[in-house]
Amino acid sequence: MKILLVCPEYPDTFWSFKYALKFIFKKAVNPPLGLLTVAAMLPEEWEKKLVDMNVMTLNDKDLKWADFVFISAISIQKESAQKLITRCKEAGVKIVAGGPLFTTKYEEFDGVTHFVLNEAEITLPLFLEDLRNGCAKYIYTSDQWADLKETPIPSWDLVNMKKYATMNIQYSRGCPFNCEFCDITLLYGRIPRTKSKDQVVAELESLYLQGWRGGVFLVDDNFIGNKRKLKKEILPAIAKWMGWRKYVFSFATQTSIDLSDDEELMQLMVEAGFDTVFVGIETPNEESLAECNKFQNKNRDLIACVKKIQRFGLQVQGGFIVGFDNDTPSIFQRQISFIQKSGIVTAMVGLLNAPAGTRLYHRLKKENRLLKAISGDNTDCSINFIPKMDYQILIDGYKKILSTIYSPRCYYERVKEFLKEYKPLQKRIFQFRLKYFGTLLKSILLLGIIGKERFYYWKLIFWSLLRHPRLFPLAVTFAIYGFNFRKTFGNYIEIRSNKKLRLP
């Protein structure tokens, strides 16, 4: 059997880092972890090939070669997935589709031969068994949660690692919280399911043996869902492995804000090599936090929490949302002030949307406010329901937030605000590589010479060299990120220098 695993294209979004990748000579941020894990679950004797359409072209000869094309996608890849299905149909090749996009809306896709939905650890073996017996069904679903102890190490040998900025692994699925707009609990449940420490270490070792050095993103939606196990088993095991392998990786992940309540956990994460966490802050408005059931963020000084995490040595990236029923037009300025004061450099501000099946979706449906399917990109100015606030005021206010926080002045101010707080634990020995020099030269040319932000760029470069020389590479990285976000959001809004803008 010949299996072609295909990852559809991602459009240009906040997380695609399209314009930043060019500085570091990479094609995409992460490889398709789900497909690589599925590949490892297929019979060993089957031939497998991976085409990630984000880093390479899908050729007709690949489709002709395959007995089956396996597609996995998330909602943002819908358009590319649809085109891919059409191409497969035209080539006469059978399609197996799975992953979050198809799990939540498989009925919208014609032409798929078999849907293998929900978690592959449960449904894929059932499909393979039926296929062997010549009686494969159209659809496989499950209402059970998989035991992650069964999840194999992804087939890294199928990937050309040189094309990606970071690698990724998964330690857990599920989140104990229950935010109204979130579909993670719908897809993976509220009881965090985890891998064992031996599995995690084996996955790190397999990345190492495959030749990877650099960043590793733990894709868990809430890495700290089971704090006890992390502190007792997982983080000490990772720290031990990292010491043995001379700190070849640095880790980033996603956590809830209650990370800031647990100093021991933050310390252990930093010692294990974590340097970045993405946290869903959402909003400084208490009523909106109550509305979306984000009680873990309520009744706390969110800025103090962020600063505390930063001081422990973890860069905080933040998710923010506007468009809650309880938001009034003052929310836009409040969000801007919050983001600037927090020193959250990478701030993903999105409009509230209601993914299918979430509690928010059902509430809005009851209230007759649903409009259409979501685009999957919550930063493209689209909204799939009728907001309480006047639509035009909401969109204008949203654009105002983006054009302000990503204006060169505000952005570079935020970078400095963060670097002043940040105290990284540096165990990793800096090894100079020629490509770093290439990245620096490119940033000098595009940002320092022809870029509109050149004044702010040079100010940051000299300030970091003089005051925080160890953080100089990070300062350059942030300058590149800023360029990336301005270009990405510039597709929707106009970002100017905002020299005269006054922040409260």
Site residues (vs ligand SF4, CB under 6 A):
175, 177-179, 182, 184-185, 221-222, 256, 280
Shortest Cβ 406–ligand SF4 spacing (Å): 23
Query: CB-wise, 266 or 360, nearer to ligand SF4?
Result: 360
Q: Which is nearer to ligand SF4, 40 or 186 (CB)?
A: 186
**Shortest reach from residue 379's CB to ligand SF4, in Å:** 16
Task: State the minimum distance, in angstroms, from the CB of residue 335 to ligand SF4.
Answer: 17
**Smallest distance, ligand SF4 to C-beta of residue 175, A:** 3
For the purposes of burial, counting CB atoms within 10 Å of the CB of 328, is it exposed (0-12), middle (13-18) or buried (19 or more)?
middle
Judged by beta carbon, residue 175 or residue 493, the one nearer ligand SF4 is 175
Exposed/middle/buried for 450, CB within 10 Å: 0-12, 13-18, 19+? Answer: exposed
Task: Name which of 99 and 408 has its Cβ closer to ligand SF4.
Answer: 99
Cβ closest to ligand SF4, residue 62 vs residue 221: 221
Angle at CA of residue 182, ends 177 and 187, nearest 5°: 90
Give me the least distance between CB of 49 and ligand SF4, in Å please: 33
Task: Supply the minimum distance, in Å, between the C-beta of residue 101 and ligand SF4.
Answer: 18
Q: Closest CB to ligand SF4 among 182 and 216?
A: 182
- Contact (Cβ atoms closer than 8 angstroms) between residue 167 and residue 161: yes
> Which is nearest to 176 in space by CA: 103, 256, 264, 281?
256
Beta bridge partners of 94: 68
**Smallest distance from the beta carbon of 417 to ligand SF4, in angstroms?**
25
CB-CB contact of 127 with 134 (8 Å): no
Q: Residue 95 or residue 175: which is nearer to ligand SF4 going by CB?
A: 175
State which residue, 115 or 274, has the beta carbon closest to ligand SF4: 274
Strand, coil or helix: 93: coil
Residue 2: strand pairing partners: 47
Class of residue 173 by CB neighbours under 10 A (exposed 0-12, middle 13-18, buried 19+): buried
Task: Write down the least CB distance from residue 419 to ligand SF4, Å.
Answer: 27
The answer for 99, left when phi > 0, alpha when psi is -120 to 50, beta otherwise, is left
From CA 78, how far away is CA 239, in angstroms rounded? 39
Q: How many CB atoms lie within 10 A of CB 343?
A: 23
Cα gap 287→113, rounded to integer Å? 47
User: Sign (positive/negative) of CA torsion 444, 449, 454, 459?
Assistant: positive
CA–CA dist 439, 25 (Å, integer): 8
